[in-house]
Structure 1
Amino acid sequence: MGWSLTIGRIAGTNIRLHFTFLLFLVWIGTADYLAGGTAAAVDSVVFIILVFLCVTLHEFGHIMMGRRFGVKTPEVILSPIGGIANMERMPDKPVQELLVAIAGPLVNVVIALALMAVFGLGLRNAFVIDFDTASLAQRLLLVNCMLVLFNLIPAFPMDGGRVLRALLAMNMGKPRATALAARIGQGFAFLFVLLGLFYNPILMLVGFFIYFAAGSEAQSAAFTGFASRLRVKDAMEPAPLTLPATAPLSLAVDNLLASPQREFPVMDGSSRVIGLLDRDMMLAGLRDHGPTVAVGEVMRECATISGEQPLVEAFARMRSRGARADVVADASGRVTGILTLENIAEMMMVESAQPGWRFKRRS
């Protein structure tokens, strides 16, 4: 996520603060300083920092449980509306996803129990308190109890929604379970927005986040559902035009205008793929260097993928690198096609209109 600052690294996971979190701290500190002086400002800022320490521990509950199932988490991002653990993927087995989802709230349960044991507090201290007179421990106890209850609301993709999806997937399969959980999550999103209008604007932000995140998860699950039966060669554009690295950029532009192809594999003198040139690179090259510059000077380097590779894996790799296309080659290094996000999106639209469509193998 842009506009965030790395503040540490634990067990291979970067901890990042979104800049809005820092603005939130400044806003809280300034408001309480104006209302009650330095002591009030320090108390509020310390409380917020401790709350987000609890949120970070919550996220590491997910991260450490995911690691047990081979799921890595490059970073966790803290913002005013909570923490986001950017896991590479969720475990494939519903039971494993359930355990990963429930691990975060269980961390908050442990924190709450520790506060109760150390400070001699009971649940009454959590739910019947006046924030203005309550101790720091009482306020943290309340926050952790609320984190447990709030995160277990079955609003996908929140923790409770992932628990719901995992339970549904045990009986109906992951794609259908995700679609149903996403619809339920979007229903809760509307409720959060409505409540936010009357009570707390932050609930509106949470509602918008849930709505769009649930839709994104549903699309991803729909793709995985149909793509799991396909390989790269089923989705690639076959027999693409190629360009020699020494060719002038003007030749690439001529090929672009004369064909529907938008990405071109670039070859060296031994007919090996050394890069990929797309339309945006051509335009940037024309603007910065002119039509006579060599194609090899404006291309991007790329590795090839196999036509036998599962489409789901190839798509995940493209997304992780921010690539819009990859070159497909056989064992001898001969270019056999190009896999593009545009083609994959078109296949998804066909699958949406006619589920179970049998895509013809391209060659």
Structure 2
Amino acid sequence: MSYKVATVKGIPIYVHITFLLVFLLFAFIFAISVWPYGFRYVEPPIARYILACLTALLFFVTLLIHELSHSLLANSYGLKIQNITLFFFGGISAIENPENVRNIDPSKELNIALAGPLSNIIIGAVLLAFNYFVYGSVFGVPDVTNWVTEGLTTFTANIPTMIFLLGTLNLLLGFFNILPIYPMDGGRVLRAWLAKRNTYEEATNTAVSIGKGFSVVLAVIGIFTNWWLAILALFLYISAAEEGKMFKATTILEDIVVKDIMTTEVLTVDESMPLVEFINFVFQKKHPGYPVIKNGRIVGMITVEDTRHINEAERYAFTVKDIMKEVVSVHPDATALDAFNEMGTHTVGRLVVLDSERNMVGIISRTDLMTAIYLKDNFKNKTNESQNEPQNEPQSES
């Protein structure tokens, strides 16, 4: 569940509900940590927690700057960014057509990947330099009591500590992101470098494997030093594995045409069908979604999920037309990857397949896509295994 909070340069900014959890965690850590890593001894307590929350908020503003650096540069290279979402583990810039990344020059992908970490390193260096030249130390001023007695407020006295925290965290964030752990920025930098020398598929597979290896090393270090590092390493390992699977899936879907895997025998319902009758129809046919027709033409789509918000006692007053959704379609000659992207964009589980005259020729579901991926990958592996098996040469007759 995400909420839109702003729009920057035409890019919508969303905050996921999980972001609130890590925001509160960071604020709490800042509030209980001693100088120069927090505000534990700041009095009164309300000032301590306000400073901690303000520091956490500013830190996540720098996280947003990190993602904007990626996104704005990607936009300049022709990669349209749908939105930016801040999660509990950071931010994600959603590219409208992710498969386009593999079609750009690897040097441009390298620049996009480096833009985020570089922005954090610059922010961190500038903030720590400011502390050094203004307050005489990158750590700020430890003895804030004298500052307060000289007439400065508690908040003003703790500005150096806030600057130190933000500068340090940005430097850590920047350098940590450069580690060659896919799908972090460093892993994407590695893939872009490898893509200059190999195919994009080989570069991605290599980057994923190296990322997994670095994650294991980090996990081992974390077990003996800091369990938080070990947990983060586990998360990065899982992310690398999932990214590898997603890349394999999209590569497979690129080579499949919708008309080859769509279902041509489509069950439909009329828009005038009473909702109660539709529910009974679903139980009989056991399909979760159906195209809605009127006079033989498709006018909408209805799923079991669409009926859930209707109270059971009120269902007799509704027809299919009252709750059906707009048709989301795909052309039969489109790739399965196009269908996959359409499902993700519109958050639907199935698409109606319409020809150039807007006639329905089939339907394709997420299950169809997953089955195609499984079969294609399985047969590919079987073919590779058979090709690698040693062949017995025929014996010559003597």
TM-score tier, shorter chain, comes to 0.7 to 0.9
The aligned residue for residue 9 of structure 2 is 11
Distance 1:326 1:60, change over 3 A: same
SS of the residue 2:356 aligns to = coil
- Residue by residue over 1:280-339, the C-alpha shift from the partner in whole angstroms, topping out at 9 and shown as x without a partner, is 446776945457853323432214321122321221111121100011122223211001
Distance 1:104 1:89, change over 3 A: farther
Coordinate RMSD, CA, aligned: 3.5
Task: Give the superposition deviation at 1:258.
Answer: 5.3
Q: Which residue identity does 1:58 align to in structure 2?
A: H
Alignment counterpart, residue 317 of structure 1, candidates 332, 342, 346? 342
Whether 1:95 and 2:107 are equivalent positions in the alignment is yes
Distance 1:247 1:54, change over 3 A: closer
- Residue by residue over 1:117-174, the C-alpha shift from the partner in whole angstroms, topping out at 9 and shown as x without a partner, is 65667xxx87xx7996886555544333322220011111100011122223334433
Per mean C-alpha deviation after superposition, the further-off stretch among 278-287 and 106-115 is: 278-287
Task: Give the superposition deviation at 1:244.
Answer: 1.4
**Structure 2, unaligned stretches of length 5 or more?**
34-38, 144-159, 384-398
Identity value in percent: 25
- Residue by residue over 1:212-265, the C-alpha shift from the partner in whole angstroms, topping out at 9 and shown as x without a partner, is 332332222112212212222122111312221113446645654555654321
Distance 1:301 1:153, change over 3 A: same
SS of the residue 2:93 aligns to = strand
For these two proteins, the number of residue pairs brought into alignment is: 350
Q: Which residue identity does 1:335 align to in structure 2?
A: M
Alignment counterpart, residue 250 of structure 2, candidates 217, 224, 232? 224
Distance 1:24 1:74, change over 3 A: farther
The aligned residue for residue 28 of structure 1 is 29
Whether 1:173 and 2:199 are equivalent positions in the alignment is yes
SS of the residue 2:380 aligns to = coil
The aligned residue for residue 206 of structure 1 is 232
How far apart in 2 are the matches of 1:289 and 1:136? 57
Task: Give the superposition deviation at 1:342.
Answer: 0.5
How far apart in 2 are the matches of 1:7 and 1:285? 31
Contact 1:273 1:304 (C-alpha < 8 Å) held by counterparts: no
**Structure 1, unaligned stretches of length 5 or more?**
359-363
How far apart in 2 are the matches of 1:206 and 1:318? 31
How far apart in 2 are the matches of 1:218 and 1:83? 19
Work out which of the two has the higher radius of gyration on C-alpha atoms and give 1 or 2: 2
How far apart in 2 are the matches of 1:151 and 1:215? 18
The aligned residue for residue 208 of structure 2 is 182
Distance 1:338 1:81, change over 3 A: closer
Alignment counterpart, residue 74 of structure 2, candidates 60, 66, 71? 66
SS of the residue 2:7 aligns to = strand
Equivalence map 1:149-298=2 (5 Å): 149-249=175-275, 252=278, 256=282, 259=285, 261-269=287-295, 271-281=296-306, 287=312, 289-290=314-315, 293-298=318-323
Contact 2:31 2:48 (C-alpha < 8 Å) held by counterparts: no
How far apart in 1 are the matches of 2:110 and 2:231? 26
How far apart in 2 are the matches of 1:80 and 1:250? 42
How far apart in 2 are the matches of 1:260 and 1:353? 28
How far apart in 2 are the matches of 1:28 and 1:142? 15
